Structure 1
Amino acid sequence: MSFEDAVRPSHPSRYNDEDTSPTTPRELKGWYSYAIAAEVFAVVGVGLFLPVLLEQLPRERGVLFSDRSKPCVGPPGSGDAGKFRARAGDADREDQCIVRFLGSDVTTTSFAMYTTSAAVLFQAITLICFSSFADYGPYRKKLLVTFAYTGATVCSLFVFITSSVYFLAPFLVVIGVTCLGSSFSLLNAFLPLLVSNHPSHAKPGPSDDPPAYELEGLNRRDPSNSTYRFHPDKLSEDLDRSSKISSKGVGLGYASAVGFQLFSVGVIIAFDKLGLSKGNPTLPMRVILLLVGIWWALFTIPTLLWLRPRFGPPLPTQSQNGNPSARRNSSVLFYLAFSIRSFWDTLKRASRLRQTLIFLAAWFLLSDAVATISGTAILFARTELHMGTIPLVFLSLTSIGFSMVGAFSWPRVAARYSLSPKIVLIACIVGMEIIPLYGLLGYIPILKRLGVGGIQKPFEIYLVGIIHGLVMGGISSYARSVYAPLIPEGSEAAFFALYAVTDKGSSAVGPALVGWIVNRAGTIRPAFIFLAVLVMLPGPLLWWLDAEKGREDASRLAGEHGSGAAGGYARVGEDDRED
């Protein structure tokens, strides 16, 4: 790219300091780098070791439900430290291990599921309270980096959490998961900007005239102009480019997670050979989380250096009167109220976008199903199939390895058979439905007598992991690329915050219901009925989604909002800007 191309705006500016320069390869590398940094915590931490730690740490302090005098694990030096006690009473299933937490007795499995629900719920509240800042000034990048390094620090602190302070683990999980989800929401908010400012939008070939819709979009500086943005040809180009960038980011993130998981196997084996984990089975996992935190911090550095802030309009200010302490308190309340009002405004604007609402409803259900299946599978393998840490690592490796395959393969399949991103998502839902249906086969009497089929043997869950990985690669790659065109221009962070709130808010429901089912049934398998129904629900909604109409509606709304906002931006002078 020449210097002239690098500095040439890709579309007219709507306010002072808007960065409309073309997206550069270096900027894309900064965007990809954060996927490499944070996906390791998402996969190795949230997806594997944290659910195990949340079950294992209280188990070491728990007692059997049938006999409160018996601990759930053997004492150090007994030969079965850290392992399940023998079955009590019922020969067909293990007696439940319970622990006291916040004044109630809960099973250790429910302890993990309830913590997951609390974490995603708190994350949704955080996004509501603070996400609207990201569409103003440089706050999109500042908040991304702040959440990244806070999350990395909290992840590293798990090295100090032992069974004697197991009750602290949920609080660290809540903070870590909140930082992870919030930072990914902000990273996703850069995606529409990277796509819309891609140099191919403003760079015709040497002998080709620009398309008429590009000329109109570039020549008219009226912010309400929407011809360029929702033109069918540009929609197709942007969907394709968005899918490719998103898929590459997901693929690189999964690749880093797979590499780190292989490294974690070596760490676990080394601790076992040296005898460092004897009597302290969670130590290797806690050390791995320390290393995950360091990885997260290191690979955020290229994002910090290379990803441009892409300034939004100036953040509104309030008059500064009174003493400094009162001004500070007043400012905090002012911006908190401003953010909540902005989020409410985003909800009202989204309510006018029927296609956007259809997608968000589908995503609410789909993300809940995905999050609940992922967490339930690890706990099922741990408590029902009695799989140790290393087999669980290989189960996660299987799923993530095939997620990486799916992330790179689905775009090829879509191109080969001319499938739209929406159809790819529907195909992934069909694939995801196989998982709970296969788990329900364990209720068929003949298979139950055979002891195989319906995830009754450990090897079967690896087959489930393959299916889970392939469909997750498609869902992770295509969900945000389907949603991005449905966002009004200039509101990327606010609408991706709504996307994340829909995602994380729903993900608080499924794990809590699974925890409730386990508490009453004493086993995880009945939860497959709930999951089978949950996975089916988003399919019809996605089928009804009309992406082209949604893009047109979003562009029209951006024009209405922009024409009013343009004057507002123009009226904000230098004296009103944030220092």
Structure 2
Amino acid sequence: MLSAAEFKKRLHGWLSYASASEVFVIVSLTLFLPIFLEQFARDNGFLLPDRTTPCSTVAKILHVNDSPERCIVKLGFLWIDTASFSLYVYSISVALQALTVISVGGIADNSAHRKRLLLTFALQGAFAAVLFLILPSSSPLWFLSAFLAICANVGFGVSVVAMNVYLPSLARDSPEVAELCLQLETSQDAEDSELVDNGRTASEAHTEGVEEPLISRNRAESSELRVRYDNELSWATSRISSLGIALGYGAAICLLLVALIPVTKLKGSTFSLRLTIGLGGIRWAVFSIPAAVWLPDPTALATSGASESAIWIDSSDITDGKRSIRTDVVAAWKRLGGMLCWQEIKKLRNTFKYLAAWFLLSDGFTTITFTAILFCKTSLNMRPSALILIGVLTPCTGILGSLLWPMIQRKFLSNLKILIILVILCSAIPAYGCLGFVFQGRTSFGGLTSQREMFGLAVDFGCVYGAFQSYARAFYAELLPPGEEARWSVPRNI
């Protein structure tokens, strides 16, 4: 059982990185990167149908574009719509992110390498974001912006998978859960001792014609403690996860308010966008330092004496440290093949059901966030100040949602029921957007046809999405086989 001081250090290190990565994904990846990539392509693109008039001569970044012509950019032998360029880059980054996570999942489960893996990919993503500062759209190498975006997204996805591996252990090491675990172990020991005593007593009592009760009080107490332990563990997992989301959202609001100054002063220029993404990368790197200092090292794990309630280390983690990266990657893909066999699917059918649902739900949430920004810029012609206000409004309501839903859940509902409610609420967003096909421009309001509606969408989506992230992470942590958290983890963007 960890001391209170040691638990707080590990918790604060985890929360520091959780907030750092959350700020980057909200400010840089979700809000500014889509319009940044679209604008880079637009600055180097041409108008249809002649493909000779530069798009930059017709419309400036984030300003009202009255031209009905589409803007396309040439990459090699292909002509690509500038808005589609951003989506293609994001899709490729998600695919590479998934492949990388599968390859390094086993390495993250090895606690001797987990911390190093987290910090390596965090620095990769942060460094890629900072490099945006020195790449103007006028450069002949402007297309490298796609490569930097891919590196940043892959770094974010893999580092977050490594970070999430710590979540089940943190929940088990929380004082309330650890105390119940100790009581449960004591009760089970007493029950085992009673079974031995009852075996002797029953034999003696049989000769005397006296019957012993079949169900002891200790066994009933142990069952009650098990229920309390499971409930407390579930709540601790969701509470820590929600706290990480809330802190990240709060920090994102502060960074967005800071970014509002250069974006407004420079009238939404490409440099102001590059500056904002670069600031997100710098903050990501700086707030990874507490994680590097406070998250446990392999040597600390080996000597911590952690009980089964805190799966911080496997004995093979230290003795197996000389394995090559290539061996670990090959082994990870072999394990993936074994995980997808029918026997494994039957044994962990709830986990596989969740993964199937997660693939659809996470992709839906990500599609809403990414395309909504492009929709605001290209279709609704929203200005920089309006986009940043939406960016501030979403995490504000996200904080409210990530803190309010655990209060409701603790009194009334399980993690699963909360997730179902959140999915239903979020499904109303695309359903409302489909009304725009019904109205077909006949009204100035309804179906996401006006800028005002996007602010309402930001409130609804923020309140739901923040809670969805924390509960999805917490509920999935309960389904994972102990010691294999990273192997079963998936990137948040998928």
Per-residue deviation, 1:65 = 1.8
SS at match of 2:366: helix
Residue 114 (str. 1) matches residue 88 (str. 2): yes
* Counterpart Cα distance in 2 of 1:298 and 1:214: 46
Q: What is the CA deviation profile of residues 526-557 of structure 1, one whole-angstrom value per residue up to 9, with x for unaligned ones? A: xxxxxxxxxxxxxxxxxxxxxxxxxxxxxxxx
* Counterpart Cα distance in 2 of 1:105 and 1:458: 30
The match for 1:147 among 121, 127, 130 is: 121
Q: What is the CA deviation profile of residues 50-94 of structure 1, one whole-angstrom value per residue up to 9, with x for unaligned ones? A: 00111000101111122312222227xxxx544679655xxxxx2
Partner of 1:566: none
Pick closer, same or farther for the CA change 1:176–1:448 going to 2, 3 Å. Answer: same
Pick closer, same or farther for the CA change 1:85–1:398 going to 2, 3 Å. Answer: closer
The match for 1:296 among 279, 284, 297 is: 284
The match for 1:203 among 143, 160, 179 is: 179
Partner of 1:55: 38
Letter in 1 for 2:477: A
* Counterpart Cα distance in 2 of 1:296 and 1:219: 51
Pick closer, same or farther for the CA change 1:439–1:139 going to 2, 3 Å. Answer: same
Per the normalisation by structure 2, the TM-score is: 0.84
Is the 8 Å Cα contact of residues 72 and 85 (structure 1) preserved in structure 2?
no
Partner of 2:149: 173
Pick closer, same or farther for the CA change 1:6–1:444 going to 2, 3 Å. Answer: closer
Is the 8 Å Cα contact of residues 73 and 83 (structure 1) preserved in structure 2?
no
Is the 8 Å Cα contact of residues 172 and 178 (structure 2) preserved in structure 1?
no
Letter in 1 for 2:374: L
Gaps of 5+ in 2: 194-221, 298-311
Partner of 2:398: 403
Per-residue deviation, 1:287 = 1.2
SS at match of 1:444: helix
The match for 2:419 among 425, 450, 475 is: 425
Is the 8 Å Cα contact of residues 262 and 272 (structure 2) preserved in structure 1?
yes
Pick closer, same or farther for the CA change 1:405–1:68 going to 2, 3 Å. Answer: same
Residue 308 (str. 1) matches residue 296 (str. 2): yes
Letter in 1 for 2:183: P
SS at match of 2:179: coil
Is the 8 Å Cα contact of residues 73 and 79 (structure 2) preserved in structure 1?
yes
Deviates more, 1:335-344 or 1:428-437: 335-344
Per-residue deviation, 1:359 = 1.0
Q: What is the CA deviation profile of residues 14-43 of structure 1, one whole-angstrom value per residue up to 9, with x for unaligned ones? A: xxxxxxx99611211111000121111100
**1:483-522 aligned within 5 A:** 483-496=476-489, 499-500=490-491, 503-504=492-493, 507=494
Residue 390 (str. 1) matches residue 373 (str. 2): no
Q: What is the CA deviation profile of residues 445-473 of structure 1, one whole-angstrom value per residue up to 9, with x for unaligned ones? A: 4x722222111111111101111101101
* Counterpart Cα distance in 2 of 1:402 and 1:368: 21
* Counterpart Cα distance in 1 of 2:427 and 2:112: 42
Is the 8 Å Cα contact of residues 140 and 493 (structure 1) preserved in structure 2?
no
Pick closer, same or farther for the CA change 1:238–1:318 going to 2, 3 Å. Answer: closer
SS at match of 2:79: strand
Per-residue deviation, 1:315 = 4.8
Per-residue deviation, 1:401 = 1.2
Pick closer, same or farther for the CA change 1:82–1:270 going to 2, 3 Å. Answer: closer
Residue 129 (str. 1) matches residue 112 (str. 2): no
Per-residue deviation, 1:231 = 4.0
Pick closer, same or farther for the CA change 1:74–1:420 going to 2, 3 Å. Answer: same
Partner of 2:256: 261
Pick closer, same or farther for the CA change 1:316–1:306 going to 2, 3 Å. Answer: closer
Letter in 2 for 1:495: W
Residue 185 (str. 1) matches residue 151 (str. 2): no
Residue 435 (str. 1) matches residue 435 (str. 2): no
Partner of 2:370: 375
Between structure 1 and structure 2, the one with the greater Rg is 2
Pick closer, same or farther for the CA change 1:186–1:318 going to 2, 3 Å. Answer: closer
Letter in 2 for 1:116: Y
Is the 8 Å Cα contact of residues 145 and 300 (structure 1) preserved in structure 2?
yes
Partner of 1:510: none
Is the 8 Å Cα contact of residues 23 and 199 (structure 1) preserved in structure 2?
no
* Counterpart Cα distance in 2 of 1:70 and 1:211: 74
Letter in 2 for 1:456: T
Pick closer, same or farther for the CA change 1:466–1:204 going to 2, 3 Å. Answer: closer
Partner of 1:414: 409
SS at match of 1:492: coil
The match for 2:11 among 28, 48, 56 is: 28
Per-residue deviation, 1:271 = 3.4
* Counterpart Cα distance in 2 of 1:232 and 1:116: 43
The match for 1:43 among 18, 26, 44 is: 26
* Counterpart Cα distance in 2 of 1:450 and 1:368: 31
> Identical aligned pairs, as a percentage?
33
Partner of 1:517: none
Letter in 2 for 1:420: S
* Counterpart Cα distance in 2 of 1:215 and 1:317: 32
SS at match of 1:106: strand
Partner of 1:541: none
Is the 8 Å Cα contact of residues 431 and 471 (structure 1) preserved in structure 2?
yes
Letter in 1 for 2:447: G
**1:6-25 aligned within 5 A:** 6=2, 24-25=7-8
Pick closer, same or farther for the CA change 1:305–1:450 going to 2, 3 Å. Answer: same
Is the 8 Å Cα contact of residues 47 and 374 (structure 1) preserved in structure 2?
yes
The match for 1:337 among 324, 330, 334 is: 330
Is the 8 Å Cα contact of residues 22 and 199 (structure 1) preserved in structure 2?
no
Pick closer, same or farther for the CA change 1:109–1:140 going to 2, 3 Å. Answer: same
Is the 8 Å Cα contact of residues 132 and 277 (structure 2) preserved in structure 1?
yes
* Counterpart Cα distance in 2 of 1:410 and 1:384: 34
The match for 1:355 among 344, 350, 363 is: 350
Residue 448 (str. 1) matches residue 422 (str. 2): no
Partner of 2:211: none
SS at match of 1:493: coil
Is the 8 Å Cα contact of residues 23 and 197 (structure 1) preserved in structure 2?
no
Is the 8 Å Cα contact of residues 22 and 197 (structure 1) preserved in structure 2?
no
- Aligned CA RMSD, in angstroms, stands at 2.9
Gaps of 5+ in 1: 8-20, 89-93, 221-226, 321-329, 508-579
SS at match of 1:450: coil
